[in-house]
Structure 1
Amino acid sequence: MTTPVLICDDSGFARKQMARAIPEGWDVALSFASNGEEAITAIRQGKADVVFLDLNMPIMDGYQTMQVIREEDLPCLVIVVSGDVQEQARKRMISMGALDFIRKPIDNPRLCELLSQYGIYNGQAAPEPASKRLCASDSTAEDKLDAYRELVNVAMGRAGENLAKLLGEFIDLPIPNVNLIESNELHMAIAEIQHNESVSAVSKGFVSAGIKGEALVIFNDTNTHNIIELLQYRGKADDIQLQLEALMDVSNILTGACLNALSDQLNVNFSHSQPELLGRHRGLDVLLSDNISRWSKVMAVEIAYAIKSRDISFDLLLLFPDDAMEKIYTRLMLLGQEAI
């Protein structure tokens, strides 16, 4: 009997990855949604006995979607597939009725194990036919941008998870803002950070297999005292050395986890430079122009983390020069084929 299956994710690249992970022996009728509103419509139409649901999406996110499913008692089984695997996120979704979580990127054996555990599918994973595989030569510029966004989405979730474990707080994760731009236009692409007139920034460079970049953690200067209190450092919050220590510690957690997740997905081992304080209490334009003037074009990825319960926010900015972009996409495609 054919099972109606819905894949709901705002990333087309992620939807394709999930579709490719469906066991070949499982008789399914696949449908797709790019946000929760589309998913709810499909479920009401009977197109989703099983739903693979992302969390961070525009219009209606995974939490809101799960809330509607529960309130209307819609007949479907929900498995969350997300880069955000914080324990609080998992508990919240399970309490609302989701069966379980699968971490991105998809682990095919784990997916089959989970489907079998809940009596949804009892076969084995099978090699994917060539007709379902992704081909780099067929990709458009938008396809590549979507793939970059999903790559970073997974890394962002890993960093958020590590920070949540350390701090014991829920980290609000956004949809990454990804732009391919001229380096002198970077300040126009990061509107959220621009709201802060005075910031401090810590930078770390990384390189491997021809892929290089800079990771910057940018702090609104008004947040520093709250960060020190959260970290429970001994000393006065206005101690300059203590403030620097706090900025460095948070930066190392974020960039370390994020770059490790990028390394895992690209199957490379990044060499990291020592973290460097670019400046304190300066305008963002000045910090950025000092740091990336050597590049003509960049892929700029902005991730706005927040700990709302503590009124803390900071941004992770990943910058890749244009010659690294094609290498990243090529590796993603090759690794996708090897995983089959």
Structure 2
Amino acid sequence: MKKKIGLLYGGKSAEHEVSLSTALAVTKAIDFDAYEVYPIYITQDGEWRKGQRLEESAKTIEQLQLTEGSGKPNDISSFLPTQASEGLDVIIPLLHGPNGEDGTVQGLLEVMNIPYVGNGVLASSAGMDKVVMKQLFEQAGLEQTPYVYFIRRDWDKNQGFWLDKIEAELVWPVFVKPANLGSSVGISKADNREELIAAVKEALKFDRKIVIEQGVVAREIEVGVLGNDEPACSVAGEIKPLKAFYDYQAKYKDGNTAMIIPAELDRTVYAKLEVDAKKAFKILDCSGLVRADFFVTANNEILINEVNTLPGFTPFSMFPLLWEHTGLPYPELIERLITLAIERHEEKQLLQVKIE
């Protein structure tokens, strides 16, 4: 009997377009002989819409947006397919950024007791907040670049103090990032104080918390992690953007980036990357999937940059490519993620909720 899969995508986020591309890619890879696929679309204004069961892969993003109905997000039951009388077996959240990747939707699905692919509430929220993530990495003993962070109110009250602090503790260039966003949205490189002020202004459009990271001359290396309690790592891949850094445009628009898979690395570096990727996975209590991003310097120093708890599945995405080169093609990767989601959900059902 086919499993009923709900694709949850779109979302009230600056990464809405990325989510749509991911959803389209998933429909082209999922096995319709094994699964019934039901689209659940969230507009960028936060309106929830349900669609009829997909009989085949969606041909365009526009097709995924042509869904029926509307209503309030707190009445999610009305958005689940009425044809699935026994409910959905698994939901695949494909919501990048806030209101989807940050633990909010995961919490809703937990309350509804529906199995879902990917990381839980804690891992999602901690992985989304780059500052919290960095602080946990410190606890785990993972090496990373120096950084400074502040919230909008602190910056508005004493901009001069923070400029002095950044110049005292970091060395140009620096990278300015919204703490709670992904896909390189709102990120800028700054080589001096004037550019830093402009970069902070840009980042504050997307978040109230900003993190400033020390720039480093290094190779950008990424590793896919897959599993629950016993995660496994893919081969490593190297990102070589033809721009100053791997920005949103390079990731999702122009493909103006070289991806080298597998990355040419010393065997000892590969081994250390695997150890550190699994350590990051476990310190955040991750499950399902993670892409761990590292810097590797010329003398093979390994610095963890961040983890992405919901890496993209677009044609330009590194995560599925890493696993394809490891021997797990995209359709089988989706099947593996669904299996991991069900396994984790079944384990949670063993927990006692009554005190006898």
Structure 2 length as normaliser, TM-score? 0.33
Structure 1 length as normaliser, TM-score? 0.34
Give the structure with the larger helix fraction: 1
